[in-house]
Amino acid sequence: MTEIKKNNVLLVEDDNFLANIYKTKFEMEGFKVFTADNGEAGVDEAKKKLPDVILLDILLPKMDGFMVLEALKKEPSTKDIPVILLTNLGQKDDVEKGLQMGAVDYLIKAHFKPSEVVEKVRKVLGN
């Protein structure tokens, strides 16, 4: 029997309460979740763990999500990892900027339940 590859998710979110909700939901769905609570840690974790997908908040301490996205896209080892922006910044300019910078999707936290976020990740990963 072949073992199904665990999909590794890196969640970069500074709100611990929210991070735990998403982490729990993803783990219940069979994902392995790594977390980082600031932008710098997010970039470091992405380089170390090379996750299958990254969920990235924009409003973060140390480095905002746009700076993190830019750093990830410049780095050869992380440039092809799909990044989904998961944030409360819903202005059209922010959405367009995130997508132009290479994010594969832009989810506004208030509009998506954790289960819907899991579904979006499954789609991005082709599961």
Query: In angstroms, rounded to a whole number, what is the distance separating the alpha carbons of residues 115 and 33?
Result: 15
Torsion of CA 98, 100, 105, 106, to 10 degrees: 30
What is the structure's pLDDT at 127? 77
| Domain regions of the chain by residue span | 8-120
Q: Is the pLDDT of residue 69 over 90?
A: yes
Query: In angstroms, rounded to a whole number, what is the distance separating the alpha carbons of residues 127 and 125?
Result: 6
Assign domain 8-120 to a CATH class.
Answer: alpha beta
- Indicate the residue type of 43: V
pTM, full prediction: 0.93
- Indicate the residue type of 42: G
**Three-class SS string for the chain?**
CCCCCCCEEEEECCCHHHHHHHHHHHHHCCCEEEEECCHHHHHHHHHHHCCCEEEECCCCCCCCHHHHHHHHHHCCCCCCCCEEEEECCCCHHHHHHHHHCCCCEEEEHHHCCHHHHHHHHHHHHCC
- pLDDT tens-digit series, residues 81-95: 999 999 988 889 999
**Confidence bin at 32 (pLDDT 50/70/90):** very high
Radius of gyration of the chain (CA): 13
Query: In angstroms, rounded to a whole number, what is the distance separating the alpha carbons of residues 64 and 71?
Result: 11
- pLDDT tens-digit series, residues 92-125: 999 999 999 999 999 999 999 999 999 999 999 9
